[in-house]
Chains A and B, each alone.
Chain A
Amino acid sequence: MNLNRVQHSVSSGMVALIGLWVCWVSFTQQPSEAFLFPRMISTVFVLLALWTFAKAVLGWSKVGTGIYAKHFTNMLPGLLIALIYVFWAAKGLGFYTSTSMAFFILLSLYDPASHTEIRTWVKRLIITAVFMVVMYGLFAKLLKVYTPREIFF
C-alpha cells in the first residue's frame, strides 16, 4: 500500500516535471505566434499534472496497479534485448538479420518449454524461420519496403 503510494507519487511527479518543462519552453521560446497553442495546452497540462501529483502524494490515487518487483525483474531481460534491437541492431545489422536474432532470443527467453531438449530448440528455430519468411514476403516483396542494408547480404 505504502509502496504503491510512493510509486504513484514518483510517476505523477515525473509527468508534472515534464509538464513544467513544456510550459517553461513554451513561454520562453520565440516566435511567440508559433508557441501560442503550446502555451495554451501546456498551462492545462501543468494544472492537471500538479493536481494528479497532489492526489498521489496524499495517497488518493486509486487507479493503476503500480509495478511489482517480480514483474519488473521478469521484464528486464526482454526489455534490454528489445532496446538493443530497436535502437542499435535494426540499423546496425539490418532489419532481417537483427529481427531474426531478437526474435529467436526473446522466444527462447520466455518460452516455458525446457531448455535442455533439442526438440524445443528446433521448434524455436522453425518458428523464427517461418516468421521471417512471412515478414520478408509481406514487407520486402509485397509492400516493397526498402529496409536499411543488411551486413551479411
Chain B
Amino acid sequence: MEFIYYFGNVFQPMSFLLLLVGTIGGLILGATPGLSPTMAVALLIPFTFHLEAAQGLILLGAAYTSTVAGGAVSAILLKIPGAPANIATTLDGHTMAKKGKGARALQLSFLASAVGGVFGVLLLIFLTPVLAKWALAFGPSHLFWLAIIGVTIIGSLDSASVVKGLLSGCIGLWLATIGFDDIMGAQRFIFHPALGGGINIIAALIGLFAIPQVLSMFAEGRKDANVEVIEVEKSSLANAIRELFSHTRALSIGTVTGSVIGLIPGVGGQIAGLVAYDQSRKFSPEREKFGTGHSEGVIAAESANNAMVGPSLVPLLTLSIPGSPTAAVLLGGLLIHGIFPGTDLFDNHPDVAWTFINSMLIGQILMCMFGLYIAGLAARVAQVPKSIMAAIVLGLAVFGSYSVQSSMGDVYVMATLGIMMYFLERFGFSAAPLVLGLILGPIAEANFIQGSMIANATDGMGAYFLGGNMNIFLIAIVVASIGYSVGMELRERTRNSTGGEAS
C-alpha cells in the first residue's frame, strides 16, 4: 500500500502539468504514422535532462501510456496502425469508422484502453515480485514455442481463407529474414541496397496498410462527392460505456491476455493485441461478425495493448532488464539521473518509483478523458472526401516511414510492399497475417538458433525443446490452436457446400 503515500507528488503543479503535456503530446505522437511508442519516448529523453528524476519519469510514463492508446486513432480513422500493437485494432475499428461509427469505435477503444491500462498498472503495483519470476521463466525454447503459437494464429486471422492466410504469413516470415542475419552476420536476400538494414517493421506496417488504401481510393476514380458522404453517427458516452460493459467477455480476455503476454520479455508488446483479438473471437458466440466492424474486436485489441504497459515494465523495474525496446529507452531515462532500477530504485528512491507508477495510473485516466473528448470530432475524418484522403495518407506514409530512422530505403520498402499488397489483397491475401509473420519471424528464429546452441552444448535438442512442463503446455496450445483452425475450416466447408456457392 506504500504507493498511496506518493499520490500527492503526482498532483504537484509542475508534475501534473508534465503529466498533461505527456498525455496529450503522447496521443498526438501516437496518432502519427511512423511514430511508435519507443520513438516517442526516445524523443522526449532530452527534455528529461533538465527535469528532476521523478518529473522526467512522469513525462516519459505518461507519453508511453498515451502513445500506445494514440496509435488506435490512426488505426481506426486511417487504417494505419501507429505501432505493431494496434494492428488488431484496424481489423474492426476501421470497418466501424467506414460505417460511420468512428466515434463509437474511438470511445470504445479509449475506454477499453483505460480499463486494461489501469488493470495492468495495478498488477505492476501489487504483484511485481511474483510477476518478475514469471517473466524470467521464459527461456529460448519457451519463446520459440510462443512465437509458433503466434504463427498458428496467422491462419485464423484471415477469415476468408486459411490457406491464403498461412501463405500471407509465410511471405511475412520470409520478408523478416531479409537483411543481415542477426546472430551470424551473414547477408540474406539483399538484392537491393535499400534492403541492407532489413525490412523495418514500422515502415512495412505503414506500407502494407496505408498504400492499398490509397490505391483503392484511386481505383474508384473521380466520383461525385455528394453521393458518398458518410453519416457520422453521434455516440453518447453513456451508451459507449454500456456497450463496453455488455462485452465483458472481450474486455476481460483482452485485459488478461494483454497483461500476461506483455510480461514476457522480447515478445509481449507487439503481439498482445493480435493474440487477444484472436482469443476473443474464438470464444465469442458472434465470431462471424469479427472483421465486419464488430465492437468486441476493438475492445479486445485495445484493452490488451494497454494492459501490457504495466507488466512490460516489471522486468525493468525489478531486475533492471529492459523487456521491450520502450523499456530500454525508459532505462536510459532513469540512468541519466543516476537511478538504477532494481532494489536500489525501490529502497533508496521510493518517491521516484512510486510517483512514476502512480503517474501511469493517473495518465491512463487522463488519456481516456482526453481521448473521449476528441473522439466525436476526430471521427469526422471519415467524412473527408476520398480524393483528399488519398493524398493525405500518401503524404503521411512517406513522411512517417522516413522518420523512423531517417532513411530513404525505408520509404522505398514501404512503397514497394504497399503496392504489392494492394494486388495481393485483390486475390484474397491479407496484410494482418503478413505483418504477424514479419514480427514473429525474428523472434522464432533467434530463439530457435539460441536454443539449439544451448541444447547442443547441454542435453540435446529433444530434451531442450520438448521437455519440461512449460514446453509441454505451450506445445499443447499450439496443437489446440491448429486443431481449432482446421475444425473451423472444415465446418465452414460443409456449411458452404450445403448452402451452395455462397462466397
Least distance between A127 CB and chain B CB atoms (Å): 6
Bound-state CA distance A87–B167 (Å) is 28
Contact string against B for A residues 1-20, beta-carbon threshold 8 Å, 1 for contact and 0 otherwise: 00000011001100100110
Chain A residue numbers with a CB within 8 Å of B425 are: 64
Tell me the smallest distance from the CB of A75 to a CB of chain B, in Å. Answer: 4
Look across to chain B and name the residue whose beta carbon is closest to the beta carbon of A67: B426
Contact digits for B379-399, partner A, Cβ 8 Å, 1 yes 0 no: 000000111101110111011
Residue B8 interfacial (CB < 8 Å): no
Which chain A residues lie closer than 8 Å to B181 at the CB level? 34
Q: Which B residues between 390 and 448 are near A, CB-CB below 8 angstroms?
A: 390-392, 394-396, 398-399, 402-403, 406, 408, 411-412, 415, 419, 423-429, 441, 444-445, 448
Question: Number of contact residues on B: which range applies?
Answer: 35 or more
How would residues 158 to 179 of chain B score, 1 for a CB under 8 Å from any chain A CB and 0 otherwise? 0011011011001101100100
The number of inter-chain residue pairs (CB within 8 angstroms) is 187
Q: Of B43, B177, B427, which one neighbours A38 at CB under 8 angstroms?
A: B177
Number of A positions contacting B (CB below 8 A): 70
Say if the beta carbon of B217 comes within 8 Å of chain A: yes
Q: Is the CB of A86 within 8 A of B395?
A: no
Given A62-B503, A82-B415, A135-B399, is A102 in contact with B161 using a C-beta cutoff of 8 Å? no
Please give the distance in Å from A45's CB to the nearest CB on chain B: 4
| Whole-angstrom distance between the Cβ of B319 and the nearest chain A Cβ | 29
Complex: A143 Cα to B67 Cα, angstroms: 14
Q: Which of B87-95, B184-192, B353-361 contacts A (4 or more CB under 8 A)?
A: B184-192
Q: Are B160 and A63 in contact (CB under 8 A)?
A: yes
A52 close to B164 (CB less than 8 A): yes
Residues of A within 8 A of B457 (CB): none
Please give the distance in Å from A104's CB to the nearest CB on chain B.
8
Note all chain A residues with C-beta closer than 8 A to B50: none
| Chain A residues with CB under 8 A of B122 | none
| Interface-centre pick from B167, B225, B448 (highest chain A CB count, 10 A) | B167
Q: Say how far B426's CB is from chain A's closest CB, in angstroms.
A: 5
| Residues in B208-233 with C-beta less than 8 Å from chain A | 214-215, 217-225
CB <8 Å contact, A106 and B387: yes
B388 with A107: CB separation less than 8 A: yes
Nearest chain B residue, comparing its CB with the CB of A37: B445
Which residues from B are CB-within-8-Å of A86?
Answer: 398, 411-412, 415
Give the residues from 27 to 77 in chain A that come closer than 8 angstroms, CB to CB, to chain B.
29, 31, 33-38, 41-42, 44-45, 48-49, 51-52, 55, 61-67, 70-72, 74-75, 77
B222 touches A95 (CB 8 A): no
Taking Cβ atoms with an 8 Å cutoff, the residues of B that contact A are 29, 32, 35, 43, 160-161, 163-164, 166-167, 170-171, 173-174, 177, 181, 183-184, 186, 188-189, 214-215, 217-225, 385-388, 390-392, 394-396, 398-399, 402-403, 406, 408, 411-412, 415, 419, 423-429, 441, 444-445, 448-449, 501, 503
Closest A-B pairs by Cβ, 7 of them: A63-B428, A64-B428, A78-B218, A74-B221, A34-B186, A110-B387, A71-B219
If A85-B398, A103-B391, A145-B399 are given as contacts, then 5 extra A-B residue pairs at C-beta distance below 8 Å, sorted by A number, are: A15-B424, A52-B167, A55-B163, A82-B394, A109-B387
In the assembled complex, 29 residue pairs joining A and B whose CB atoms fall closer than 8 Å, in A order, are A8-B427, A15-B171, A15-B424, A34-B181, A37-B177, A37-B448, A45-B167, A45-B171, A48-B163, A48-B170, A52-B167, A62-B428, A62-B503, A63-B503, A64-B160, A64-B428, A65-B426, A70-B221, A74-B220, A77-B218, A82-B394, A90-B408, A106-B387, A112-B387, A113-B225, A131-B391, A131-B395, A139-B403, A145-B403
